[in-house]
Structure 1
Amino acid sequence: MNETVISTKDNKQVVYIPEKCIGCGTCVMVCPKETLVIGSVGPVARGLIDKEFLEIRPNTCITCGMCSKVCPTGALEMREDGKPVEEKTYLINAIKPTTVNDDCVHCGLCEQVCPQGCIEVDQWLSNDNAAKVDGQTTIDQECCVHCGWCESVCPVDAIEVEKPFEGTWFRDEDVCQACRTCVDVCPCNALFNPDWEAGERVDKVAQRPDACIYCGACAVSCPVQAIDVRKTAIAAEMEKKKVFEKKLLDKPSVKPTLTSKLVTDEYDCLGCGNCVIVCPVNAYANKELAAGHLNNMDEKALLEVENGAVNVVDQDVCGSCGACAMICPTNAIWLEKREVE
């Protein structure tokens, strides 16, 4: 497993484990030295850029461990003498493990819906006269994000899940461009684009409250800041949690730093304008452009076609979602890592 040592002091180390990171930015909210930088969550989750969710500002960490204490997945780990600290003052240690009891019928529903692939169900026919299935259901606690999907779908209430946070979720319908960045980023499959019937009006993006852990990754990733996620409680019985509640509760999710840049190839570009139209920042700036009126708009916020090739108007307004790279038919636009100041 890939690891990055953020800092070392005496016998203590703070270590970042990218494989466990969900890009929520909770750690950034409590860091007293602004050592941690979150950004480009969308393209990282979509596999469009070779970087991690978090960037580390060198020589700033004081090894206080605040970040590792609030991390809901254990992606930031405090170690003493090379071993993880297991105190209940750390949220990851305070959250009760997701458990399955003997009432389980090993139907496999939990395995099917788990967004992180943490559940494995083995089934076999019973070894007695009953026409039933026996089996074994195993939950990998290392990758579980405590979303509650398994508990919600279990037909016999055999699974118990404790969430890390309680909270509120709000999306501004007028600002949202339905770009699906939040849907692709959510570690819990708690967000989705509803289906609709002819003549029916539905939300652009909807939330499944029972599956949400209110981590804030969706808000961090939204290229037009249409989503507001606020933690209202640390749900687990974490020791000394009042210190962290002062920093986390009823606060907006951290505003991301732009840690990527758009790069274009004028020779491969066809000048089709698909990227210009699909760009959520462009669409938010002008609704007509989002409707496909590409040539009627003289000014674009982020991307435009100039002399038959795509041109980046203003790198600094990029929401770093990667929609342009995903739609380009010739791979003429992509994202690269941007150095953090």
Structure 2
Amino acid sequence: MFNVERSGEETRKLSHNNDRCVGCGICTDVCPTSSLRLGPIVPIARGLIEMDLVSVTSNTCVLCGLCSVACPFDALSLTINGNDIKETGNYPVWEVESEINDDDCIYCGRCYSVCPRDTILFKRELPSREDLVIGEISVDEDKCVYCSICSEMCPAGAISLTNNPEFSNDNLNNTIEVDTSKCIYCGVCKRACPQDAIKAVCSTCMLQDQIKAPEINGTASILKDGCVNCSWCKEVCPVDTINVTKPFEGTLKLVETDESTCKGDACHACQDVCPCDAVEIIDNKATINLDYCNLCGACVNACPQNIREVTRTSMKLNNINSESWRDILTSNLLS
């Protein structure tokens, strides 16, 4: 994480957030003064060294902000007098989106479990089990011999028993309790008891049509900080309540030659650096699933065989008012 700051008629400050950075190299491609450098992204991704994915030569950086607006992941920020240029309305802005429609969400948690960047906030509130499972259960301790069969057989773990084998018939030294917050009144304990000491009645079975459907509430949202618009959440959502707009459209393919081929399991550099978890090794070849790929190009930079090729046909970067900036951005980001 670096900061470059200069003061004069206005104060400009360029900041890099390594937690949001994916090592795509877009900023280094567009920098007009070649002041930004991409670090060794594979060793960094593998945890072999600790350093930022991007570094800067501060004395050559002109603080123009081109790298800041070009970064699709908001890892770079240029402020002028404390104001981020992307919020002024005068600079290019990425029109990307990752959003959950909370009104239609069923709070299944699938999006939360698959997010490769841990940027989904998820909380589920379930109704009390006692409102849904109704019954009665009792243990006749005069008959109970504290054999623990009921406790061992209980599928809900609702029966607890303490047993002093030296006083097996002394109720002062043996206890048995049923936790009704766990009991499902299934009757397994009753049928298993060799002394017929347990009575259990399941009202839920008889009244199930009268019991109201459980109301499940919760919250689910996607943090903008760190999200890379990979579409994992959208693809796994069973009710199609998530919208994702990726920064680019295009393709990414493997271009092998007789001299250079994918090393698969022996290399997996692309898999290690991919921020989208979109790379899978199949038949000893690194295969990229474009459903989850955001075409950032990190895998292209990581490949030691130079056989990855990304082709971006369009981008969601709008409000480019400067022709010179448009030329730089389109020539470096599109192909």
Q: TM-score, normalised by structure 1?
A: 0.65
Q: 288, 312, 322: which is aligned to 1:207?
A: 288
Deviation per residue, 1:79-115 (Å, 9 max, x gap):
12223221453445x3235333411101000001100
Between structure 1 and structure 2, the one with the greater Rg is 2
Give the direction of change, closer, same or farther, for the CA distance of 1:226–1:162 in structure 2 (3 Å limit).
same
The alignment status of 1:95 with 2:96, answered yes or no, reads: yes
Opposite residue 117 of structure 1, the aligned amino acid is D
In the TM superposition, 1:1-341 aligns within 5 A as 3-8=1-6, 10-85=10-85, 86-87=87-88, 89-92=91-94, 94-126=95-127, 129-174=212-257, 175-178=261-264, 179-194=267-282, 202=283, 204-240=285-321, 242-243=326-327, 244-250=329-335
Task: Give a deviation string over 1:122-165, Cα, whole Å, max 9, x none.
Answer: 11225893135221112211111111111111111111111111
3-state SS in 1 of match to 2:63: coil
Q: Please give the per-residue CA displacement for 1:236-294, whole angstroms capped at 9, x wherever unaligned.
A: 545448442233211xxxxxxxxxxxxxxxxxxxxxxxxxxxxxxxxxxxxxxxxxxxx
Checking the alignment, whether the CA contact within 8 Å between 2:119 and 2:222 is kept in structure 1 is: yes
8 A contact 2:98–2:222 mirrored in 1: no
| In structure 1, C-alpha distance between the alignment counterparts of 2:121 and 2:99, rounded to whole Å | 13
2-structure distance, mates of 1:52, 1:212: 23
Contact 1:193 1:206 in 2 (8 A): yes
AA of the residue aligned to 1:189: D
* 8 Å contact from structure 1 (residues 26, 70) kept in 2: yes
In 2, Cα distance between equivalents of 1:120 and 1:15: 26
Segments of structure 2 that go 5 or more residues without pairing to the other structure are 132-211
Q: Match of 1:74, as an amino acid?
A: D
- SS of the equivalent of 1:205 reads strand
CA distance in 1, matches of 2:62, 2:123: 46
Give deviations 1:11-39, integer Å, cap 9, x for gaps.
Answer: 22211111111100001111110001113
State the AA in 2 paired with 1:106.
Y
- Structure 1 6/229 Cα, relative in aligned 2: closer, same or farther at 3 Å? farther
CA contact (8 A) 2:2 2:55 kept: no
Whether the aligned pair in 1 keeps the contact of 2:98 and 2:242 (CA below 8 Å) is no
Shift of the alpha carbon at 1:173?
4.2
Aligned length: 240
SS in 1 for 2:270: helix
1:167 CA displacement: 2.2
Counterpart amino acid of 2:113? Q
Q: Distance in 1 between matches of 2:316 and 2:253?
A: 20
CA contact (8 A) 1:162 1:236 kept: no
- Between the two proteins, what is the percent identity of the paired residues? 35
* Distance change in 2, residues 1:170/1:97 (3 Å): closer
Distance across 1 between alignment mates of 2:69 and 2:304: 28
Secondary structure of the 1:111 match is helix
Change in 2 beyond 3 A, CA 1:76/1:193: same
Q: How far apart, CA to CA, are the structure 1 residues paired with 2:11 and 2:239?
A: 47
**Range moving further from structure 2, 202-211 or 232-241:** 232-241
Q: Secondary structure at the match of 2:294?
A: coil
- Does the residue aligned with 2:305 lie in a helix, a strand or coil? coil
Q: Distance in 1 between matches of 2:35 and 2:18?
A: 16
Aligned with 1:62: secondary structure? coil
The answer (yes or no) to whether the contact 1:5–1:15 under 8 Å persists in 2 is yes
> Quick one: which amino acid aligns to residue 217 of structure 2?
D
- Per-residue CA deviations over 1:30-86 (Å, capped at 9, x if unaligned) read 111000111311011111112111121231111111100110111110112223221
CA distance in 2, matches of 1:22, 1:158: 27
**Farther-moved stretch of structure 1 (26-35 vs 134-143):** 134-143
Deviations 1:197-250 (A, max 9, x none): xxxxx4601111111110000011112212112322113545448442233211
Tell me the SS of whatever aligns to 1:150.
helix
